Amino acid sequence: MTFVPPSIDWAALAPIVIVLGAAVIGVLIEAFVKDAVRRMVQVILAVVALGAALVTVAWRWTVVQAQGPAELVGGAIVEDAPALLAQGVVLLCAFLGMLVIADRVGGEDGFTPAAAGAPGSAYEAQARRLGLVQTEVYPLVLFSVGGMLVFPAASDLLTLFIALEVLSLPLYLLAGLARRRRLLSQEASLKYFLLGAFSSAFFLMGLALLYGYSGSVRFADLAVAVPAMVGMDVVLLAGVVLVLVGLLFKVGAVPFHSWVPDVYQGSPTSITGFMAACTKIAAFAALVRFLYAVVPGLTWDLSPLLWTIAILTMIVGTVLAIVQTDIKRMLAYSSVAHAGFVLLGVIALTTSGISSVMFYLLVYGVATVGAFGLVTLVRERDAEGNVTGEATRVEQWAGLGRRHPVLAACFTLFLLSFAGIPLTAGFVGKFTVFAAAVEGGAWPLVVVAVLASGAAAFFYVRMIVLMFFTDPDQDAGSTVVRTEGTTAIAVAVCAVATVVLGVVPTPILSLASEATKFML
């Protein structure tokens, strides 16, 4: 048997190659570049690579519009409009997230100087005194983004699993690198790793069952084999459900959400914002491709399961967010609730469902990066007035709007977008997914979603009232620290995008409507 190597269109793979190539170069920089300039080189490389990849995606979009979609790497990856749109949204949010990650807040970054050292050890204290910096963060982020770019474009289950691991493994490490609250950060990393490995096992089992059913891991072959479903329907359904478990874990849907609050709280806040936005975008894009292109014939069988998960996700996320006293945990459960809202567009199983999901992910992603970017700037003050760690307790934000009105106004804007208030991007995003769900016959889910949105407005408005209309607690003081400025740039871009997409959403909605036809 003669091996025939696949013909590879490197131009079509350019966005992925740029990001993963930069990640590999970043590893070499760690080994060969001097400490004094290493961080600067890593930051420039990461920002330039993400910007170049985003421009390349825009170029490939024009090529696909003119020449049509194509199979790449022997059919393991496809280049079509939905994949490119998802990649573009991931890269945009990753670029903004990288600006937050690269910033030095209060003269220091948010990462421990000694990741391998035990929290509180003499080794860690010495590393801090010497001013060591964990510049490995930047290639790790790039590796994760590379996996996220492959994830929505994968056209077979094996490639999908590899992309899942490539995007996840760096995040397991990054979650444990917080400069302060080291034990909490390491706990977050361990929980994320163990539960992520568990969900990957479900995914692999589903992959094996689907291969046993169809004799192939290719999406195209599965799409042909699914309608037959003769005598092996149990194997097929079990395989599909197990694959969905692996994907729903990454989006944080109930009951696969238990990792979300702990990981969001314990991770470095800049990494939390990056992870909350980009991982959800990539995972939902892959989930939509799998449901719309591979198993649309199982709609009747899967609808009860997906409806139940969507309802539980919206309710659990909203109710638990209301009772949180830590702002990162509040935003974490808010993220869970938003996953439920996005599931409405997924469940719609209409072309408008695809475009509404991608638009919602864009507006949610920019608001999330902006919100967590602002959280990195608000710090605690001790009894002597010294600035310490991040002020994540909700009561520490009391009166912030009077002392720092611009920051509080931007945070208010992001909260209003999360709540779905008109003239913000969040309102348009919710309206589009609700309309798609109604079009798909899932109007009972829309009723639940509207009620959940109304209840969720409580904890968003509570934060606004706390910032602008509540006197600060003298025992829970907070302040806003200076930065190198990249976080301010990212937040400003996110704020402008939130307003523009809420007032003039038509161009992006039209762009999303063009990305509704999958190539398997």
pLDDT in tens, 286-324: 999 999 888 887 878 888 899 999 999 999 999 999 999
CA distances from 360 to 223, 340, 343, 364 (A): 27, 12, 11, 6
pLDDT score for 106:
67
Express each pLDDT in 103-128 by its tens digit.
887 667 778 877 777 777 777 777 77
Geometric angle at alpha carbon 23, from 19 and 24, rounded to 5°: 120
pLDDT score for 230:
58
Determine the Cα–Cα distance for residues 381 and 376; give it in Å rounded to an integer. Answer: 14
| Residue 324: both structure tokens together | 């949180």
Determine the Cα–Cα distance for residues 227 and 246; give it in Å rounded to an integer. Answer: 23
CA distances from 497 to 118, 325, 348, 426, 493 (A): 41, 29, 27, 11, 6
State what percent of residues in the chain have pLDDT above 90.
Answer: 56
pLDDT score for 183:
84
Express each pLDDT in 179-218 by its tens digit.
888 888 889 999 999 999 999 999 999 999 999 888 888 9
Residue 423 CA neighbour count, 13 Å, CB half:
1
| Residue 53: both structure tokens together | 């990849």
pLDDT score for 490:
93
129 Cβ contact partners less than 8 Å away, ≥ 6 residues apart: none
Q: Which residues pair with 71 in a beta bridge?
A: 78
pTM here is: 0.94
* Arithmetic mean of pLDDT over the chain: 88
The DSSP code sequence of 41-78 is: HHHHHHHHHHHHHHHHHHHHHHHHHHH--EEEGGGTEE
Express each pLDDT in 340-364 by its tens digit.
999 999 998 888 888 999 999 999 9
pLDDT score for 231:
60
First to last CA, the chain: 28
Kindly tell me if the per-residue pLDDT of 520 is higher than 60: no
**Least confident residue range of 211-215, 238-242, 262-266, 304-308:** 211-215
Count of all residues that appear for the chain in the document:
520
pLDDT score for 125:
75
Q: 224-248 burial, b if ≥16 CB within 10 A, otherwise e?
A: ebbeebeebeebbbbbbbbbbbbbb
Nearest one of 420, 317, 403 to 367, comparing CA atoms: 420
404 Cβ contact partners less than 8 Å away, ≥ 6 residues apart: 480
pLDDT score for 177:
86
pLDDT band at 329 (very low <50, low <70, confident <90, very high): very high
CA distances from 80 to 13, 87, 508 (A): 12, 11, 17
pLDDT score for 401:
84
Give the relative orientation of helices 425-439 and 443-469 as an angle to the nearest 10 degrees.
Answer: 170
pLDDT score for 300:
80
| Residue 65: both structure tokens together | 């519009």
Kindly tell me if the per-residue pLDDT of 3 is higher than 80: no
Determine the Cα–Cα distance for residues 334 and 416; give it in Å rounded to an integer. Answer: 12
- Amino acid in the structure at residue 34: K
pLDDT score for 474:
64
pLDDT score for 519:
65
Residue 295 CB neighbours (<10 A): 23
Geometric angle at alpha carbon 282, from 279 and 286, rounded to 5°: 135
Nearest one of 95, 29, 28 to 58, comparing CA atoms: 95
Kindly tell me if the per-residue pLDDT of 277 is higher than 90: yes
Q: Which residues pair with 78 in a beta bridge?
A: 71
Determine the Cα–Cα distance for residues 482 and 361; give it in Å rounded to an integer. Answer: 30
pLDDT score for 384:
64
Express each pLDDT in 470-502 by its tens digit.
877 666 667 788 888 899 999 999 999 999 999
Q: Which residues pair with 380 in a beta bridge?
A: 478
Report, as an integer, the average pLDDT of 328-338: 93
Express each pLDDT in 387-441 by its tens digit.
677 778 888 888 888 888 899 999 999 999 999 999 999 999 999 999 999 998 8
State what percent of residues in the chain have pLDDT above 70.
Answer: 96
> Using an 8 Å Cβ cutoff, are 23 and 135 in contact?
no
Inter-residue long-range contacts of 442-445, CB under 8 Å, 24+ positions, other chains counted: 442/307, 442/344, 442/347, 442/348, 444/307, 445/307, 445/310, 445/311, 445/344, 445/347
Determine the Cα–Cα distance for residues 334 and 112; give it in Å rounded to an integer. Answer: 27
> Using an 8 Å Cβ cutoff, are 217 and 211 in contact?
yes
Express each pLDDT in 139-168 by its tens digit.
999 999 999 999 999 999 999 999 999 999
User: Which residue has tokens 């903004």?
Assistant: 96
Kindly tell me if the per-residue pLDDT of 229 is higher than 70: no
Determine the Cα–Cα distance for residues 282 and 167; give it in Å rounded to an integer. Answer: 9
296 Cβ contact partners less than 8 Å away, ≥ 6 residues apart: 349
pLDDT band at 516 (very low <50, low <70, confident <90, very high): confident
